[in-house]
């Protein structure tokens, strides 16, 4: 494995990063912000000798995690839970999503989280996780309608969750999903939406400015980028999962990272 840092040291890095961010905030802004539902996609290219992950750099002007490499993702929109999908989530993924929603649990909210990952990935990279299907051109997801694809939730694997600690000006309750590049629809692969070498070494013209320098990187390369401590932790978790099951087809525990009683903790869903 490329990430040799022990878990306790990673958590210590997370604590130090969070403490530094909190010191930059005022006490008045620290505790009242409620985390917003969000989702990210870890898109994995497993066609080479080692797996590679799609990452992009957030704009320097962004308030949240500026100039940092991240996975495609963002906050959930109200319409995300109302969009029709070609296929549903795997039962084990839906079950774990629901288990983490508490008293506000609903199938629609669980689906909305997964839909967010698909929508944000398209908006930031132009890549469609979908299945060919006839759609009205007035569909709210214009890019999917234009390419006649319905989003496909069965391509997602729920792999992690992290809640931004109190003290930040923006807080997210982020769910992380993994998917594989080779599972993209053949129609999408042949449509010109991705380069022939599927490397994305340069940002595509349709990418929104929120992410730049889009590229697939190995785990070792990712660890040398400017990434947040929580991203480093989740990369370590994903690398371990892939070593055990390159298809991520088995039922595995989903880690939850959050702050409780002043300490960062790792729980399991």
- In a domain, residue 91? The reply is yes
Q: How confident is the model at residue 197, as a pLDDT?
A: 42
What does DSSP say about strands 172-180 and 157-163: parallel, antiparallel, or unpaired? antiparallel
- Rg, Å, the chain Cα set: 18
- In a domain, residue 143? The reply is yes
Q: How confident is the model at residue 33, as a pLDDT?
A: 87
What does DSSP say about strands 73-75 and 69-70: parallel, antiparallel, or unpaired? unpaired
| Pair of tokens at residue 51 | 């797996």
Positions of the chain with pLDDT under 50: 1-5, 27-28, 190-193, 195-208
Angle at 125 between CA 120 and CA 126, to 5 degrees: 95
CB atoms < 10 A from the CB of 87, how many?
Answer: 14
- In a domain, residue 208? The reply is yes
**Torsion angles phi and psi, residue 169, rounded to 5:** -70, -20
Those residues with Cβ within 8 angstroms of residue 71's Cβ, 6 or more apart along the chain or in another chain: 40, 41, 42, 43, 53, 54, 55, 176, 231
Q: How confident is the model at residue 222, as a pLDDT?
A: 96
- In a domain, residue 1? The reply is no
**Which 8-state DSSP code applies to residue 2?**
-
pLDDT digit string, tens, across residues 157-202: 999 999 999 888 889 999 999 999 988 876 555 444 454 444 443 4
Q: Which of 228, 232, 230 is nearest to 256 (CA)?
A: 230
> Exposure string (b/e) for 200-236, b if CB count within 10 Å is 16 or more?
beebeeebeebbbebbbbbbeebbebebbbbbbbbbb
Q: How confident is the model at residue 7, as a pLDDT?
A: 60
Q: How confident is the model at residue 28, as a pLDDT?
A: 44
- In a domain, residue 105? The reply is yes
Give the domain CATH number at 73.
3.90.79.10
- In a domain, residue 158? The reply is yes
Looking at the structure of the chain, the number of domains it has is: 1
CB atoms < 10 A from the CB of 5, how many?
Answer: 13
Range of the domain at 42: 7-268
Contact criterion met (CB below 8 Å) for 120 and 74: yes
Q: Where are the alpha helices (DSSP H) in the chain?
A: 7-23, 27-30, 91-99, 107-125, 142-146, 186-189, 219-223, 229-244
Q: How confident is the model at residue 220, as a pLDDT?
A: 96
Q: How confident is the model at residue 1, as a pLDDT?
A: 40
> Exposure string (b/e) for 107-120, b if CB count within 10 Å is 16 or more?
eebbbbbbbbbbbb
> Exposure string (b/e) for 247-266, b if CB count within 10 Å is 16 or more?
ebeeebebbbbbbeeeebee
- Distance spanning both ends of the chain, measured CA to CA: 24
- In a domain, residue 2? The reply is no
pTM, entire model: 0.85
Which contiguous run of DSSP H or E holds residue 40?
strand 36-45
- In a domain, residue 53? The reply is yes
């Amino acid at each position: 494995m490329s990430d040799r840092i022990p878990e306790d040291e990673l958590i210590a890095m997370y604590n130090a990063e969070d403490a530094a961010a909190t010191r930059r905030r005022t006490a008045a802004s620290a505790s009242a912000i409620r985390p917003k539902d969000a989702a990210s996609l870890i898109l994995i290219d497993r066609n080479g000798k080692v797996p590679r992950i799609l990452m992009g750099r957030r704009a320097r002007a962004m308030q949240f995690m500026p100039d940092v490499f991240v996975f495609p993702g963002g906050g959930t929109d109200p319409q995300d839970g109302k969009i029709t999908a070609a296929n549903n989530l795997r039962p084990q993924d839906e079950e774990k999503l629901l288990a983490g929603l508490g008293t506000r649990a609903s199938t629609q909210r669980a689906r909305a989280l997964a839909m967010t990952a698909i929508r944000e990935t398209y908006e930031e990279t132009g890549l469609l996780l979908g299945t060919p299907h006839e759609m009205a051109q007035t569909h709210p997801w214009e890019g999917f309608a234009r390419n006649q694809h319905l989003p496909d939730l069965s391509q997602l694997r729920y792999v992690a969750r992290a809640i931004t600690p109190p003290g930040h000006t923006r807080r997210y309750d982020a769910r992380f999903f993994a998917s594989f590049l080779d599972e993209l629809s053949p129609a999408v692969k042949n449509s010109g939406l991705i380069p022939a070498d599927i490397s994305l070494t340069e940002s595509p013209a349709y990418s929104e400015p929120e992410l730049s320098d889009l590229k697939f990187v190995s785990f070792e390369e990712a660890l040398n980028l400017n990434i947040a401590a929580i991203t480093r932790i989740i990369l370590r978790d994903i690398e371990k999962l892939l070593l055990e099951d390159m298809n991520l087809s088995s039922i595995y525990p989903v880690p939850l990272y959050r702050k409780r009683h002043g300490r960062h903790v790792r729980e399991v869903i």
